[in-house]
Amino acid sequence: MVLFISTGEIVFLLFAVLMLFGVDRLPEFARTAGKALRSVKNAANDIKSEIANATPEDVNPSKAIKKITKEVEDSIKRGL
């Protein structure tokens, strides 16, 4: 089940595309669609890597809380 489309509907859509574009232009159409999907995937990966590189590790709240807690424990131990 792909996007709530049945097998019969997929076959009908493929037949309609074949009739609309013809056998000669179908490989060109598939190649263009593949390039478009690849560019979208590359753009998404670029955005993910930019976000990963832009945020420092100390922004993570749990790590910051652990760091502060450790500093407080150390200062208490030094004070006693």
Instruction: Tell me whether residue 1 is in a domain.
Output: no
Domain-located, residue 64: yes
| Cα–Cα distances in angstroms (integers) from residue 30 to residues 37, 40, 61, 63, 69, in the given order | 10, 15, 46, 47, 57
Look at residue 2 and tell me if it is in a domain.
no
pLDDT by residue for the chain (80 residues), tens digit each?
Answer: 456 888 899 899 989 988 888 888 888 888 998 999 999 999 999 888 887 776 665 566 777 788 888 888 888 888 75
Alpha helices for 3-60 (secondary structure H): 7-54
Question: 33 lies in a domain?
Answer: yes
Instruction: Return the structure tokens found at 10.
Output: 């997929």
- Contact criterion met (CB below 8 Å) for 58 and 64: yes
Number of domains present in the structure of the chain: 1
In sequence order, the β-bridge partners of residue 2 are: 5
Phi-psi region of 2 (alpha: psi -120 to 50; beta: other; left: phi over 0): beta
Which residues form the domain of 25?
7-79
Q: pTM for this one?
A: 0.49
